[in-house]
């Protein structure tokens, strides 16, 4: 089962890029972030004929997450538990059957948190605490689980081409990175780092200052695997070339193959 995550940065603006990539990469499951579309406005018709089922937790104009899968999407949970007053669409979870088992998958769009010291940064940390609590509860099911998405966290200095440029940013604050390590310590494997520990692997290149042309990237899109998923990992990678397409997302798809 090939599971991918991609911050699409606007589903309507990049629906043709999504269709192109689906045909090329042929993933079994796709977790999308920043679809920027309410549920009723999601362009389901544009995905007709692609072979994918769709589950959406959308929001007009910003945020929004979705799961696409070739097989039926079941047990759908929309919204991250823990705060009934949180209306931001940043989390959707579901189960998808493979040929040799079932995977539980979550599409995650963790808050950016800038500027540091603001309510937005406090929300980022509180949201991450809720994610950690949810992840721990899901681990108790002892099943293949993939937490996929845009975490808006640069875990280590080697995850940025120029880490010194991010010292004042919420993505690279000690508190943000500590929360990410806490999530890993709960029992998850960072798929990309497990497979490519010595590589300069990035998943995001800003639209500004020719970041793509200079390979001035950061790694903020992650696939975190439960022990049962990590044991089934065959390979993983980043489809970096999509960032060079016409009118691209500023993120590239990240994927993992599991024996499922």
Q: What is the 3-state secondary structure (H, E, C) of 69-137?
A: ECCCEEEEEECCCCCCCCCCCCEEEEEEECCCCEEEEEEEECCCCCCCCCHHHHHHHHHHHHHHHHHHH
Eight-state DSSP code of residue 63: -
Q: Could you tell me the two tokens for 48?
A: 């007709």
Q: Give the Cβ contact number of residue 5 at 10 Å.
A: 30
pLDDT on residue 199: 80
Is residue 114 part of an annotated ligand binding site?
no
Buried b / exposed e over 50-65, threshold 16 CB at 10 Å, is eebbbbbbbbeeebbb
48 marked ligand binding residue: no
* Residue 250 marked as a ligand binder: yes
DSSP-assigned states of every residue in 212-245: TTTT-EE--EEEEE-HHHHTTEEEEEE-GGGGGS
The whole-number pLDDT of residue 44 equals: 96
Residue 107's pLDDT is what?
99
Q: Annotated binding residue at 165?
A: no
Task: Tell me the fold of 2-258.
Answer: Deoxyribonuclease I; Chain A (3.60.10)
Phi/psi of residue 35, nearest 5 degrees: -70, -25
pLDDT at 34: 98
What pLDDT is stored for residue 198 in this prediction?
A: 80
**pLDDT score recorded for residue 109:** 98
Give the three-class secondary structure for 203. Answer: coil
Catalytic residues: 109, 150, 251
Low-confidence stretches of the chain (pLDDT < 50) are none
Predicted TM-score (pTM) above 0.85: yes
């Amino acid at each position: 089962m090939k599971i991918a995550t991609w911050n699409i940065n606007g589903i309507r603006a990049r629906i043709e890029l999504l269709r192109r990539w689906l045909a090329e990469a042929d993933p079994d499951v796709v977790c999308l972030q920043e679809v920027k579309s309410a549920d009723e406005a999601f362009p389901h018709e544009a995905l007709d004929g692609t072979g994918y089922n769709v589950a959406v937790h959308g929001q007009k104009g910003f945020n929004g997450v979705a799961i696409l899968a070739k097989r039926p999407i079941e047990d759908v949970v929309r919204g991250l538990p823990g705060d009934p007053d949180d209306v931001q669409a940043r989390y959707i979870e579901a189960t998808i059957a493979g040929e040799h088992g079932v995977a539980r998958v979550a599409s995650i769009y963790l808050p950016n948190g800038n500027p540091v010291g603001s309510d937005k940064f406090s929300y980022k940390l509180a949201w991450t605490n809720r994610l950690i609590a949810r992840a721990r509860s899901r681990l108790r099911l002892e099943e293949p689980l993939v937490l996929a998405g845009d975490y808006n966290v640069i875990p280590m200095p080697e995850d940025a081409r120029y880490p010194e440029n991010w010292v004042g940013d919420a993505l690279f604050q000690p508190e943000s990175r500590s929360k990410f390590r806490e999530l890993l310590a709960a029992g998850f494997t960072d798929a990309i780092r497990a497979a490519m520990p010595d590589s300069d692997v990035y998943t995001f290149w800003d639209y500004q200052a020719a970041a793509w042309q200079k390979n001035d990237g950061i790694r903020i899109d992650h696939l975190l695997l439960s022990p049962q998923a990590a044991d089934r990992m065959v390979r993983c990678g980043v489809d970096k070339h999509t960032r060079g397409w016409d009118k691209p997302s500023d993120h590239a798809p990240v994927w993992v193959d599991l024996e499922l």
